Structure 1
Amino acid sequence: MDKREVVKNRKISSIQFANLRITVGWNSYSEKLETALQNSYCQYSIVEEDRLIGFVRVISDHSLHAYIADLMVDPRYQKQGLGRLLLSRAVEDLKRENFPFIELIYNPELETFYKKLGFEIIGAGIIRNGKNQ
């Protein structure tokens, strides 16, 4: 298997997930990650030498909405197209499953990245009640 292959629903441990979150500068929320992984609609990962280097998951109502969450690439592997590979694979699969709405919350500095992958900005107004990443 190509070590840079995107694999759907590979078994990822909460420790691997927490380590990648910490590596990208996010809070690990280690006590909640196992539940988050189990409750995901699906997930996509890239592993190199047993280390999680790229990840994205999808949260869904299984009908209309698929929400892209936790798109992360280890900073040592960024700018190599891995984020694009992960997101493209997720979107392709979700379109094949006929989800009419594939959505995400993005960092404005990544707007160009998401537009290149077919996303469009539909309006401002993200409201968060709770902790940041």
Structure 2
Amino acid sequence: MAHKFPPILLVFNRPTALYSHRIGSKTIFVIHSPLLSLSQAMLSRGIVSPFRTPTFPFPTTTCKYSISDQDLESRGFFLRRTISDLNLDHLNSVFVAVGFPRRDPEKIKLALEHTESMLWVEYKKTQKPVAFARATGDGVFNAIIWDVVVDPSFQGIGLGKAVMERLVEELLEKGICNIALYSEPRVLGFYRPLGFVADPDGIRGMVYSRKQRKKK
């Protein structure tokens, strides 16, 4: 969807809390592990003092999906985690359908090659992607989820939730304790039940603004 409203940054707070706050025109959601204080989780991002690796093991996930893999397949949907069968032109069409600007396919390919985790749903009848989400990060402490989209023709049947549940679980299983994403205000209600919250412990995020720099 096009960013017509302030995006909010959200943070994941396992198992049920999610933080969000506004940065310019965006709302940012962040997911945060309860085993670490938020200040510890944000250390490696330069927001607070130096990060200390916890001495206790990161917990394994026990996620029960809202829609099982078997149920998805019975409805004609297949979960994919690589770009090998992903048609970038078809993915671009989904981006445009939800309000994103059309992107250069070569740049999409490059972005996906630098993606930490990715999950998309293929519709068997057309062999086209109908839902998608990906995450980038350092592979250890932090991850940001991007490009969460569902083809308008397939919205409202749980595909977006199915993708997000699995993507978040995959990141948590890697031991990543700080998970964030940007969201428009009108879809905050989608992310909150998934464990995202805004402004964790009053900590706000910032993004670079060319307009702000020109004012100086």
TM-score tier, shorter chain, comes to: 0.7 to 0.9
Q: Which of 30-39 and 101-110 deviates more?
A: 30-39
Deviations 1:4-46 (A, max 9, x none): 2332225223222212111212112124211111111121000
Q: Which has the higher contact order (CA 8 A, sep 6+)?
A: 2
User: Where in structure 1 are there 5+ consecutive unaligned residues?
Assistant: none
Q: Distance in 2 between matches of 1:103 and 1:127?
A: 13
Paired amino acid for 1:6: L
- C-alpha RMSD of the superposition: 1.9
Q: Is the 8 A contact 1:6 1:85 kept in 2?
A: no
SS of 1:92's partner is helix
Deviation at 1:62, TM superposition (A): 1.1
TM-score by length of 2: 0.55
Q: Report percent identity of matched pairs.
A: 25
Report how many residues are paired: 130
User: Where in structure 2 are there 5+ consecutive unaligned residues?
Assistant: 1-69, 211-216
Matches within 5 A, 1:56-75: 56-75=133-152
TM-score by length of 1: 0.87
SS of 2:183's partner is coil
Counterpart of 2:97 in structure 1 is 23
Paired amino acid for 2:107: K
Change beyond 3 A, Cα 1:4–1:126: farther
Q: Is the 8 A contact 1:17 1:33 kept in 2?
A: no
Q: Distance in 1 between matches of 2:206 and 2:187?
A: 15
SS of 2:175's partner is coil
Q: Is the 8 A contact 1:13 1:34 kept in 2?
A: no
Change beyond 3 A, Cα 1:126–1:79: farther
Answer yes or no: is 1:5 the counterpart of 2:78.
yes
Change beyond 3 A, Cα 1:102–1:80: same
